Structure 1
Amino acid sequence: MFAESRLPPPLHTLLVDDEPAARAALRELLERDPELELVGECASGREALRALQQAPVDLLLLDVGLPDLDGFELLREAGPGAAAAVLFVTGSDAHALHAFDVGALHYLLKPLDAEQLARGVARAKERVRALRVQQLARQLGALYGGSAAPGGPEGLGAPATQGYLQRLALKETGRVTLLPVEEVDWVEADDYYVQVHAGGRSYLLRQSLRALEGQLDPRRFLRIHRSTLVNVARVRELQPLFHGEYWVVLQDGSHLKLSRSYRERLDALLAGREPQSPTGRSPLR
């Protein structure tokens, strides 16, 4: 028997515009794309807010000038999880910069043609596919995170204990790579994401630095700056700078800045002592 061909699930799409003629024109264009499923149409901001609160969507096509609640107010009240991708479709370019500030993928001007909409929808599809892969990565990470790590001595660079992540699930060119945490060199904050550096390569992970830090063994990974987390086993030396700050030099030659407020915790780990959680600025020795 031949395997059944399965298409990816369509993008659930919500259309929000107070002009009936504009909604009809957009509906006609959207219905030509088999990868989109139009799940609703709204003529006001409040109506759209109720719809998004009941069921978040993959793609939101949104006008700015809506009665009772404009497009920006709608996004603010609905929250970041209401729509994976937002395309503004409006009659004026006056709000373009603001649209990109709130995370819109595209700002399309009326009257709209099929080619313009197709470009915006293509970007939305890429965004949604990436988010679906990242969701799968998190599920795989949760599935494999509790497996046993190789044995080794306790203390600096010791294997992660139960309850801490032992592998990171990372998206890489359409694949999901399971990276053992001991292979991570350092991690840096990148807006709402983090860049994971390992073996000369960099991977983007959709997670905040604070959230990731809480899932990693504190005997192995330590914050040395508000935007930097380091694998202590990768530290080669410390080079003094000014005002109590240091360069942390890794085995691969990377230079990372150590802030004063994090110095004592790093000293404790390097000396084999249990680090204390900072309660403020640590005194300098």
Structure 2
Amino acid sequence: MMRALVVDDEPLARAGVLARLRQCPDIDVVAEYGDGPAALAGIRDARPDLVFLDVEMPGLNGLGVLAALPAAERPLAVLLTAHEQFAVQAFALDVVDYLLKPVEDERFADAVARARQAWRFRCGAPEAPGPQAGYLSRFTVRYGSRLVFVDVEEVEWIDAAGDYATLHAGGREYLVRMALHRLVESLDPAAFARVHRSAIVRLDRVAELRTLGNRDAMLRLRDGTPLRASRTYIDALLAALERQRTAG
């Protein structure tokens, strides 16, 4: 079980994170703090696996808290902020995810999924997707009168289809009876990322990313498919692409 701290100087924001984490049976919140110096002391004392950390706080901001810790003692971190300009510094500290306030439930779930994957890697669990890591390795879908088995590695992107989702793999489409927000929790975040409320993409299929004026972005996949990435997901997408680049 992951041991977590929650740090935010806004009591309502802190309560919102705590309420969401209470729905995660594999995460044990061991403490909460409302300022940077207390958070730094708490991290040094409790040695948590994961910290949900507000960036802007009195005394010492969240980035300062992480920077004050040696890399070997730094917990996995999900940063929380109402502003976007800290993203580059956050990625330099190798944070798991970067959430803009007000945080949407689906983005919070994405961040928790990434934290779980990163924690497994730190603990020496298998990194590759599959049953051992708790992620899907293939889909079983109905295609006409047949049952078709689609390996996860073949899926290039996925889009929402009402309460279901459509897999795009090898030029074909397969309907999966699972909502997109549930599906993203079943996929390895090292290989897949949500880019829009209605779309998930396989990271190694992204050939090009072009930013737009409103902080949205246009993606081009290797087969030429264009996909829009919304500003809600763009920072996490950039971080995931960078992690994949450095890992490769």
TM-score by length of structure 2 reads: 0.50
Structure ranking higher on relative contact order (CA contacts 8 Å, 6+ apart): 2
> Quick check: which has more Rg, 1 or 2?
1
TM-score by length of structure 1 reads: 0.43
